[in-house]
Structures are given as structure tokens and as C-alpha cells.
């Protein structure tokens, strides 16, 4: 069947990417959850409960540039381009037909609140990368939101298995104010690295600063290193 073929291809490409970035991934100070399909350890497994300077919140604050773009599912597109073998533009149905990943992870905002044990569902960035296949010289991605937001992430962080383009949280569609219909999450980096209302992922051959990175926030953003500013 054609769809099985597609899935086989994604799985094969996923394994290749994992092998290619395994060493770099292991060198970063976060705990990769290699079983994110709802069965793996939560992402703080083996670590203290909270990174330094963070406080747990039960509420989920809204933090953004103040403009919440309303993108109907019929108009929604996700472009993945730049230094890749097969650039693509996905429509909503294409996106939802990709393998779906569930994961429980923590959300650390640089303004010191952390929301624990969030239950997400979406498409892993690893699977999206497997579709487009980053070229050998690709080192970073730039993520673009429909609100004009940008943020940059190193590939070895972006391809960790708990990085999702999430459309569902706690079993419900992601609310507009939190970046619905689809946002990125980066559980092992501060939350500003996850673009709400994501519309484009550009693979880059060198690092470039995004919106907050240009304004003094860290390029790397490791909560477990208290790595907030640069
Ligand atoms: N598109 C977009 N994504 C964004 C932002 C933004 O302003 N625009 N803010 C970032 C910041 S600073 C944080 S802390 C989180 C907040 O997500 P939340 O509003 O769902 O809590 O989204 C991040 N992603
Ligand atoms: Mo933030």
C-alpha cells in the first residue's frame, strides 16, 4: 500500500537522522526521552524536579507579542524548506495524516514559571525532518509564527524525540491563545524556543538569532544550565 510505503520511508529516514545526530544530542545537558509515545519517562527523569530559579504554576499563563492570528484549518499551511533535500508545504490533512506522537513533558518559561506534566499530542519534528531530510550542512532551524515571531534552535535539540508540533493538549485541541491550531514545544529548552501558530521551519547552514535572541535571550536556552541570557 502506498501509505505503508510512506510510513516505512519516514521510519527509515528517522533512524538515519537519529544516528547522524546521536553524539551531539548526548552532549547536551538535558535528558532525552527516547520513548515518547506515551510510555517513556517524563523529561525530567533522573533530574531534580525543577531547574534552578523556576517555580511551579498550576495555571497556564499566556505569553506572546499580544496578537493572536486566527488561521482557519482550510487556510493553514506549514512550510518546511531551506537546506533540505525535499522542501514541502503541508495542508492540514497532510499534517494530520503523519505519524502522531503523544508525550508528557514540562514547560519552563524563562520568566521563572514551570508547568509540569503537560500531556501533548502532535507530529514530532524528527518525523517532519525525516520527510524533508536536512542536507549535511544544515546546523540550525529558524521557526516562524503566523504572528511574525521567530526563534532559532540547533538541529540536535530540535530532533530530540519530545519536540512536537502539537495540536492537542490534555486531550483537547490547542486553544488559540496558546498557539492553536499548531505550535511547537521544546520541553528540554525554555519555552520561548517553541513557536506558537507555527507556519514555517527553515533549515539553515549557520546560526541566526530569532526575535528574543536578538533582544538578549540565550541562543541555546538550556533550563538545566540556567542559561537564560547571552
Ligand atoms: N509565535 C509565537 N510563539 C511564541 C511566543 C510569541 O510571542 N509568538 N512567545 C514565546 C514565549 S516567550 C513563551 S514563554 C511561550 C508561551 O506559551 P504560552 O503562551 O502558551 O504559555 O511561547 C513562546 N512562543
Ligand atoms: Mo517566555
Question: For the chain, which domains are there?
Answer: 2-225 (3.90.420.10)
Return the ligand number nearest the Cα of 114. Answer: 1
Q: What is the pLDDT along the chain (230 residues), one digit of tens a residue?
A: 467 898 999 999 999 999 999 888 888 766 656 566 566 667 776 677 888 899 999 999 999 999 999 999 999 999 999 999 999 999 999 999 999 999 999 999 999 999 999 999 999 999 999 999 999 999 999 999 999 999 999 999 999 989 999 999 999 999 999 999 999 999 999 999 999 999 999 999 999 999 999 999 999 999 988 899 99
pLDDT of the residue at 15: 95
pLDDT at residue number 31: 60
Which residue has the CA at smallest separation from atom 5 of ligand 1?
64
For residue 195 and ligand 1, the question of a CB distance below 6 A is answered with yes
Give the pLDDT of residue 191: 98
Dist. CA 197 → ligand 1 center (Å)? 9
Q: What pLDDT score was predicted for residue 33?
A: 60
User: Which residues partner with 113 through β-bridges?
Assistant: 55
User: Which ligand approaches the C-alpha of residue 212 most closely?
Assistant: 1
CA distance 228 to 220: 8
Q: Tell me the sheet residues that pair with 164.
A: 124, 185
CA-nearest residue, atom 18 of ligand 1: 62
Instruction: Provide, for the chain, the percentages of residues in helix, strand and coil under a 3-state DSSP scheme, each rounded to the nearest 5.
Output: 25, 30, 50
Q: Whose CA is nearest to atom 17 of ligand 1?
A: 63
What is the atom index within ligand 1 of the atom nearest the CA of 184? 24
- Distance, in Å, from the CA atom of 117 to the CA atom of 85, rounded to the nearest integer, reads 36
| pLDDT recorded at residue 175 | 98
Q: Closest Cα to atom 19, ligand 1: which residue?
A: 62
96 in contact with ligand 1, CB cutoff 6 A: no
Measured between alpha carbons, how far is 77 from 58 in angstroms, rounded to an integer?
A: 32
- The protein residue with its alpha carbon nearest to ligand 1, atom 10, reads 192
Q: Could you tell me if 51 and 114 are in contact, meaning their C-beta atoms sit under 8 angstroms apart?
A: yes
- 120 Cα to the center of ligand 1, angstroms: 16
Amino acid at each position: 500500500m502506498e501509505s505503508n510505503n510512506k510510513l516505512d520511508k519516514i521510519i527509515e529516514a528517522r533512524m538515519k537522522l537519529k544516528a547522524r545526530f546521536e553524539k551531539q544530542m548526548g552532549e547536551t545537558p538535558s535528558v532525552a526521552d527516547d520513548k515518547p509515545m506515551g510510555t517513556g519517562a517524563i523529561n525530567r527523569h533522573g533530574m531534580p524536579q525543577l531547574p534552578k530559579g523556576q517555580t511551579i504554576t498550576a495555571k497556564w499563563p499566556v505569553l506572546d507579542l499580544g496578537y493572536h492570528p486566527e488561521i482557519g484549518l482550510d487556510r493553514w499551511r506549514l512550510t518546511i524548506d531551506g537546506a533540505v533535500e525535499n522542501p514541502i508545504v503541508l495542508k492540514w490533512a497532510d499534517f494530520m495524516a503523519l505519524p502522531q506522537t503523544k508525550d508528557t513533558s514540562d514547560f519552563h518559561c524563562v520568566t521563572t514559571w514551570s508547568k509540569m506534566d503537560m500531556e501533548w499530542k502532535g507530529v514530532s519534528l524528527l518525523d517532519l525532518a525525516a520527510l524533508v531530510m536536512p542536507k549535511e550542512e544544515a546546523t540550525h532551524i529558524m521557526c516562524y509564527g503566523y504572528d511574525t515571531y521567530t526563534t532559532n534552535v540547533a538541529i540536535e535539540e530540535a530532533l530530540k524525540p519530545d519536540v512536537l508540533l502539537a495540536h492537542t493538549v490534555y486531550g483537547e485541541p490547542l486553544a488559540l491563545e496558546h498557539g492553536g491550531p499548531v505550535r511547537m514545544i521544546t520541553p528540554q529548552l525554555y519555552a520561548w524556543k517553541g513557536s506558537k501558530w507555527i507556519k514555517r521551519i527553515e533549515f539553515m547552514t549557520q546560526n541566526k538569532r530569532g526575535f528574543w535572541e536578538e533582544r538578549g535571550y540565550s541562543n541555546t536556552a538550556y533550563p538545566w544550565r540556567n542559561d537564560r541570557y547571552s
